[in-house]
Chain A
Amino acid sequence: MKKVSDFITRDLTSVTEDTPLKEVAEVLSLRGLAGIPVVNKENMVTGWISEKDLITSIFPEKVKIENPDVIGFMNLSQVVKKLTQVGHAMVKDYMSKTVYLVKEDAPASDVAELMLQKDLRRVPVVRDKRLVGVVDRASLSRILLEEGTFE
């Protein structure tokens, strides 16, 4: 049976709860990622922060980001003020504390099911609670399509 370790991308790119949002935005942008794990000082996963969390930190909660007229709700000085505040805010203020993890030695079907049920694109993989990589939909699909089955 295929395991999560067969599909893992062994990358530990992550941020901590005290990382400024400005730095998160830079990492996501430089790496072209939609979200990354949040870890503590021992590389244990404590949350997840995504580009969506960043966008919602900039714009008021009541404004839906899908609304193309979003800027119209705020005048320019309000936007600048908000951006300055957000730039200095920390990951812990905006991250999702509910994070779905999979163990490295878990069956691959577990992560596939989790991704489908929770509509997740990337899932952190852990060993002894420490981050060892991520599984993403693209690599999971690619390997499954190449091999045709979990078995």
Chain B
Amino acid sequence: MIVTVTLNPAFDHLLFLPEIHLGKFNRVQSTTRMPGGKGINVACSLAVLGEEVVATGLLGGQGCPTFEGALRKIGVTTSFIYVNQEIRTDFFIIEEKHNRQTLVVEEGSSIELRYLNSLKENFDRLLSSATLVEIGGSLPKGVSPNFIKELVQAANRKKVKIVLNLPENILEECIYGTNPFIIAPDLRESKSMFGLDIYSPDARMKISKKLLEIGAGIIMLKYGNLNYVVATRDEIWDGEIELEEKSVMIGVRDAVLAGFIHKYLGKENLGEALKYGLGAGRSAANSKMNFPNSKKETEEFLMMAKVKKVG
């Protein structure tokens, strides 16, 4: 069983319109609303690929039944700690005329300490039957990256593999002294890690090397549209997959990670896992949801992925 942790989940609200006129009245053509947040997206993708997955984290307010109901419908088991705050909403504005996607993210609410303690206890219980834990996304207001470090250490104690899918500012504060199985930094906002630009091939090698030295087993770095570098101490792979012009990029990164995990757990082959991940990402980009359309489509698309060993 795989457990995903999302401390700051959100509804992903997609607004489709030809183009947006800032400062004017705009009417959208269609909308989609679904559970989101990095850990949630990974959970949904893994469930679509046939993994048994439990989503935990902090959830509250009147949106809970809709949020959890949607997850269970996809096949995700829910195990949230309920808080006295509403679920935030992230807005994705998709302008079809300009093929442009704008993301507007709400900050999470403050969380009382007692809820964090309950989450830690719940997490410990879930570890008893977990094979792998993925922790993803941002933190609610006032929650320190140290909290994530505590979760990682709890997983280390029980020898459960950990995947960190976090923004670089959080990662940099919680990776030292832990040994994550996979680190997939979310560099959408910073575009850099350790002060190094992700778009430079040389910098990607340096970032990977440094993360491996810190103790990670596998590094996954996304750059460009859907290009990846995957590195271990023994090998480095580069991969890409072409996307259609009107792809919806929401959740694509998380789908790649989920596809990679799914394949790598079954057969520890870096190149094949990267290929599978790219197929899952392509399938997610082909859907208006934040996870792949299906396992079948993922396995069709992975044939389009180009991966090569570069080191």
- List chain A positions with a Cβ less than 8 A from chain B: 9-13, 16, 23, 26-27, 30-32, 39, 41-43, 130, 132-133
Which of B64, B114, B125 contacts A41, CB < 8 Å?
Answer: B125
Q: Known contacts A30-B60, A30-B84; is A12 also within 8 Å of B78 by CB? A: yes
In the assembled complex, which residues on chain A have CB atoms less than 8 Å from the CB atom of B83? 30
Could you tell me if B64 and A43 are in contact, using CB atoms closer than 8 angstroms?
A: no
A-side contacts of B78, CB under 8 Å:
10-13
Complex CA–CA separation, A9 to B71 (angstroms)? 11
Docked CA distance A136–B54 (Å): 20
In the complex, the answer to whether A12 meets B54 with C-beta atoms within 8 Å is yes
The main secondary structure of chain A at its interface with chain B is: mixed
CB–CB B125/A10 < 8 A: no
B79, A132: Cβ atoms closer than 8 Å: no
Report B's interface with A, CB cutoff 8 A.
54, 60, 64-65, 68, 72, 75-80, 82-84, 114, 118, 121, 124-126, 128-129
Contact present for B125 and A13 (CB under 8 Å): no
Contact of A132 among B72, B77, B84, B124 (CB under 8 A): B77
Are A12 and B82 in touch, CB under 8 angstroms? Answer: no
Provide the bound-state CA to CA distance between A31 and B68, in Å: 11
Given contacts A16-B121, A31-B82, contact A10 B128 (CB under 8 A): no
Chain A neighbourhood of B128, CB < 8 A:
41-43, 130
Q: Across the A-B interface, give the 5 residue pairs with the lowest CB-CB distance, nearest first.
A: A12-B79, A10-B77, A30-B82, A42-B128, A43-B125
Say yes or no: A43-B126 contact (C-beta < 8 A), given A10-B77, A12-B54, A13-B80.
Answer: yes
A132 and B83 alpha carbons, distance in the complex (Å):
22
Q: Which residues of A contact B76 (CB under 8 A)?
A: 10
CB-CB nearest in chain A for B80: A13
* Chain B proximity of A127: nearest CB distance (Å): 9
Residues in B neighbouring A41, C-beta threshold 8 A: 124-125, 128
17 chain-A/chain-B pairs, Cβ below 8 angstroms:
A10-B77, A11-B77, A11-B79, A12-B77, A12-B79, A13-B80, A23-B118, A26-B82, A26-B84, A30-B60, A30-B84, A32-B65, A41-B124, A42-B125, A130-B129, A132-B77, A133-B77
**Residues in B neighbouring A42, C-beta threshold 8 A:** 125, 128-129
Residue in A12, A23, A31 with the greatest tally of chain B CB atoms within 10 Å:
A12
Residues of B within 8 A of A11 (CB): 68, 72, 77-79
With A11-B68, A11-B72, A16-B121 known as contacts, the answer to whether A43 contacts B80 (CB < 8 A) is no
Chain B residues contacting A31 (CB-CB under 8 Å) are 64, 82
Closest residue of A by beta carbon distance from B72 = A10
Distance between A130 CB and nearest chain B CB, rounded to angstroms: 6
**Cα of A42 to Cα of B125 in the assembled complex, Å:** 5
CA A20 to CA B52, docked complex, whole Å: 31
B82 / chain A contacts, CB cutoff of 8 Å = 13, 26-27, 30-31
Bound CA–CA A125/B211 (angstroms): 42
Q: What CA separation (Å) do A61 and B35 show in the bound complex?
A: 44
How many angstroms between the C-alpha atoms of A11 and B78 in the bound complex?
5
| B72 adjacent to A13 (CB under 8 Å) | no
A125 CB → nearest B CB, Å: 11
Besides A13-B79, A30-B64, 19 more A-B contacts (Cβ < 8 Å) are: A9-B72, A10-B78, A11-B72, A11-B78, A12-B54, A12-B79, A13-B80, A13-B82, A16-B125, A23-B118, A27-B82, A30-B60, A30-B82, A30-B83, A31-B64, A32-B65, A39-B125, A41-B128, A42-B128
